[in-house]
Structure 1
Amino acid sequence: MERSLESQVGQAVDAWLRWLPRWEPANHRGRVAPCRRCFGSPVLSAAGLGSDVPHGVQHGLSTRVKTIVDHAVAEYTSRNLPMLQAELDHQSERNRRRSYRPAEGLEPEFDGMPLDPDPEPGSPFLFTLSGLAAEEDAALPALPPLSDAAKAALRQEVGLADDYANMIGREVCTILLRHRLRIQAAVAEFVEPQIAALLDDLTRSLDAPFDPRDAEPPAS
């Protein structure tokens, strides 16, 4: 498992490093709510991507690593947790009945990100992608109910799956420490110059908030 995890993490970091030169700072309003996947993530801490690194850069790596953990937990569940696997199978079958699934098949840089931007005050959206997806989901029949005993057994299996996910997460973080130097070197090469350029532009705009030509007297 350790060798397999090490290979998977290395490949995830390699893929992120290939993507990073294409990253550009966002030119739209930032979101109010923090990303639940990235905020306080031990994965990002192990990779050396602190709060001073733009969220888009963080998200591209954390999502790739989360996929590794999810895959390991899915294999463990299929082998050892039959009730939880059955519930997941029911949910997967239910999801397949939806004709509109906007959150599926996204690139790692967008996976887990909000489907819709924050609304402008006083300017509500006519519709949202998440709203359309919720309407589609509401039209499907609910999952079959469980007995109290089945619910208790399912909670126990969910706890086991969580424990396994935490174990895999700790191993992944340990492996990421070995990649920290090349991760930080790539940030210094591709990210920090763009941030510095943005700060320079901001400084110039603050130093000269008005166009100097506006102060020139009109020609006689």
Structure 2
Amino acid sequence: MERSLETQVSQAVDAWLRWLPRWQPATHRGRVAPCRLCLGSPVLSAAGLGADVPHAVQHGLSVRIKTIVDRAVAEYTSRNLPMLQAELDQQAARNRARSYRPTEDLEPEFEGLPLDPDPLPGAPFLFTLAGLAAEADAVVPALPPLTEEAKAALRQEVGLADDYANMVGREICTVLLHHRLRIQSAVGEYVEPQVEAMLEELTRSLDAPFDPRDGASGEFDGL
């Protein structure tokens, strides 16, 4: 498994590095809620992507690594956890029955992010993608209820799957340490210059809040 993980992690980093030159700073308003996948992620720490790296850059790598963990856990579950696998199969069939699935087939850079931007105060949306998805989900029949014994057995299998995911995650973090130099080199080449340019532009706008061409600063000449 270790050799397979090394190959998968290397391929994920390669894919992220191919995407990184296309990254540009977002121009829309940032969101208040932190990303649960990226905040405090040991994967990002192992990769050397600290809090000073823009979230979109972090997220693109986080999701690619998460896919590796999810795939490993899915294989482990199919082999060893029959009850959990049956529950997942039922949930997957229910998901396929929905008429609207906006979170599927997204690029890694967008996977797991909120479907809609935060609304402006006093300007609510006429509709949202999340709302449309919830409406489609509401018409699909719910899964049959479980007995208390089945719930206890399912919780036990979920715990085993979580333990396995943590084990795989730790191994991936070890593998990522060997990729830190090229990850940090790419950030220095493609990300840091754009961030520095934004900060320089912000500094200029703070130093000169009024454009001398618009005549606004002349209003105070007589004070």
Rounded Cα–Cα distance in structure 2 between residues aligned with 1:68 and 1:10: 11
Is residue 172 of structure 2 the alignment partner of residue 172 of structure 1?
A: yes
Rounded Cα–Cα distance in structure 1 between residues aligned with 2:108 and 2:186: 18
Partner of 1:78: 78
Q: Structure 1: any 5+ residue segments left out of the alignment?
A: none
* Deviation (angstroms), 1:179: 0.2
Partner of 1:134: 134
Partner of 2:221: none
Partner of 1:67: 67
Partner of 1:57: 57
Counting only pairs closer than 5 Å after superposition, residues 106-121 of structure 1 correspond to structure 2 as 106-121=106-121
* Deviation (angstroms), 1:214: 3.2
- Partner secondary structure for residue 114 of structure 1: coil
Counting only pairs closer than 5 Å after superposition, residues 62-211 of structure 1 correspond to structure 2 as 62-211=62-211
CA RMSD of aligned residues (A): 1.0
> 1:174-195 deviations in whole A, cap 9, x for unaligned?
0000000000000000000000
Amino acid at match of 1:130: A
* Deviation (angstroms), 1:41: 0.4
Amino acid at match of 1:211: D
Rounded Cα–Cα distance in structure 2 between residues aligned with 1:212 and 1:122: 33
Is residue 8 of structure 2 the alignment partner of residue 8 of structure 1?
A: yes
Rounded Cα–Cα distance in structure 1 between residues aligned with 2:61 and 2:181: 15
Rounded Cα–Cα distance in structure 2 between residues aligned with 1:188 and 1:149: 54
> 1:80-133 deviations in whole A, cap 9, x for unaligned?
000000000000000000111000000000000100000111111111000100
Partner of 1:18: 18
* Deviation (angstroms), 1:213: 2.1
Task: Give the alignment's TM-score, normalised by structure 2.
Answer: 0.96
Q: Identity of paired residues, percent?
A: 80
Rounded Cα–Cα distance in structure 1 between residues aligned with 2:15 and 2:213: 48
* Deviation (angstroms), 1:207: 1.2
